[in-house]
Amino acid sequence: MTETITSKFKTAFWFQIGIMITVISGFIVYCVRCSLRNGEINIYSGELLVGIVVSGLFIYLLNNLLRIDISVITLTPQHMVIDYSVTKKQEIIEYSEISGLSTVRGRYDKSWSMASRKYYESLEVELTSNRTIFIRENMYRNYNELKDTLYSITKHPRD
């Protein structure tokens, strides 16, 4: 490999996140507005209870979303660079630190966001430090190019 390859996010990934945030926020506002009686919030209404439960789930989902390693992956001839978008951290991994590669295929549960797709694929990059980095097909437009390049550079057998 002589050129540098940089990961490219799928537009659908960000679109799904935006839709999820908009729908859940709208539903929470709707629940709170339905619990209003004469301009005051009725703390005993079922709508408010549903809004509070959904708000808790929304905070949980946002927390998990921020913990996803949303990152830009750059493959250079010498090493792999991972720029984490949320934490602004950069990690440089030498190819000699990669102890194994495996392609994992899984089945989506009945998820509304992936109704048209039945399966997903993820590349697990196992490091000598007993850490695993996941490169997910549903996040990157050039997932296959990243996967093929890593397999060819590291000379690990394909599964």
Closest CA to 28 of 62, 56, 54: 54
Whole-number Å distance between alpha carbons of 8 and 2: 19
Q: What is the mean pLDDT of residues 35-48?
A: 85
Lowest mean pLDDT among 49-53, 56-60, 125-129, 154-158: 154-158
Q: What is the pLDDT of residue 69?
A: 61
Q: Which residue has the higher pLDDT, 156 or 97?
A: 97
pLDDT at 118 over 70: no
Residue 111 and residue 45 in contact, taking contact as beta carbons nearer than 8 Å: no
Confidence category of residue 18, pLDDT binned at 50, 70, 90: confident
Residue 77 has pLDDT above 80, yes or no: yes
Q: Are 117 and 108 in contact (CB under 8 A)?
A: yes
Across 86-94, average pLDDT: 88
- 130-152 pLDDT tens trace: 999 989 888 889 999 999 999 99
CATH numeric code, 71-154: 2.30.29.30
Q: Which pLDDT value is given to residue 117?
A: 52
Q: Give the pLDDT of residue 109.
A: 52
Q: How many residues does the chain have?
A: 159
pTM above threshold 0.85: no
**Contact present, 134 and 106 (Cβ < 8 Å):** no
CB neighbour class for 63 (10 Å; exposed up to 12, middle 13-18, buried from 19): exposed
Dist. CA 146–CA 9, nearest whole Å: 12
Q: Domain ranges in the chain?
A: 11-66, 71-154
Among the listed residues 137, 57, 133, 60, the one whose alpha carbon sits nearest the alpha carbon of residue 100: 133
In this predicted structure, the answer to whether residue 156 has a pLDDT above a threshold of 80 is no
Q: How far apart are CA 66 and CA 156, in angstroms?
A: 31
